[in-house]
Chain A
Amino acid sequence: MNSKRPVNLDLSTIQFPLPALTSIAHRITGVILFIGLIFAFWALDVSLSSPAGFAAVSDVLAHNFLAKFVAWGLLSALAFHFVAGIKHLLMDMDIGVTLEGGVKKAQITVVVSAVLIILAGVWVW
């Protein structure tokens, strides 16, 4: 091997491109949503069990900060996963599968999901 070939091991100069970051975030939000199913199924189960159970779930979502935060976090993960998933389906349909198109779609994914995450926060609080 030619020992004089250029080597760059300064990791601080290496950055992930935006499409790589949205791809990783798609995976992370997927794992978060799977763990969050515990809360979602709990809420569905208790809210459908009886009028008292429904009141308990409404009450905790109306007054408990931690419950609101979990609800907002899961809605945020769902929003991003949803938007990034649509980006995936567009790529499957061969729409915008170029370097510029990939960056553009990643930017749109970040902006649209950021708006949805803010709206989810407004809804929860």
Chain B
Amino acid sequence: MVTNITNFGRSGLSDWLLQRVSAVILALYSLFIVGFLLFSSGLDYAAWSGLFAQTWMRIFSLLAFISLSAHAWVGLWTVTTDYLKPTGIRIGTQLIIILAIFVFLVWGITVLWGA
């Protein structure tokens, strides 16, 4: 078995499954957000912040943000390992991606729980 120390689950099969599960969660979240924006006519701050004040919406959003982190890492790991052959450039790019994912996740959590 080929192992790679930079992939997410240390096995291709686990990455494969994680990418599918996170994709389904992100698809549902995207549909929900787009649907909410489309079908709430004359959306105002009260309705928008009211949605994100609900506990279920915060949990749904957190689930989506965690899925996003995993999904982005598996996807961008695949792309960077395919196209960036020099080890230094690849590892450097992957470190920047990990840092960006971390920033997005922390940003998302602070938005949800209003730091």
Contacts and interface: CB of A to CB of B under 8 A. Distances in A.
Interface of A: 27, 30-31, 34, 37, 41, 44-45, 47-48, 50-51, 54-55, 78, 82, 85-86, 88-89, 92, 123
3 closest pairs, A vs B, by CB?
A54-B45, A51-B45, A45-B111
Contacts of B20: 89, 92
B23 A85 contact: yes
Interface string B43-54: 011001100100
Question: For chain A, what secondary structure do more than half of its interface residues adopt (helix, strand, loop), or is it mixed?
Answer: helix
Nearest to B79: A27
Nearest to A44: B111
Contact of B49 (A41, A48, A55, A86): A48
Interface residues on B, range: 20 to 34
Contacts of A78: 30
Nearest to B16: A92
A54 B44 contact: yes
A37 B104 contact: yes
Interface in B69-115: 72, 75-76, 78-79, 97, 100, 104, 107-108, 111, 114
B5 interface: no
B107 A41 contact: yes
B27 interface: yes
A82 B111 contact: no
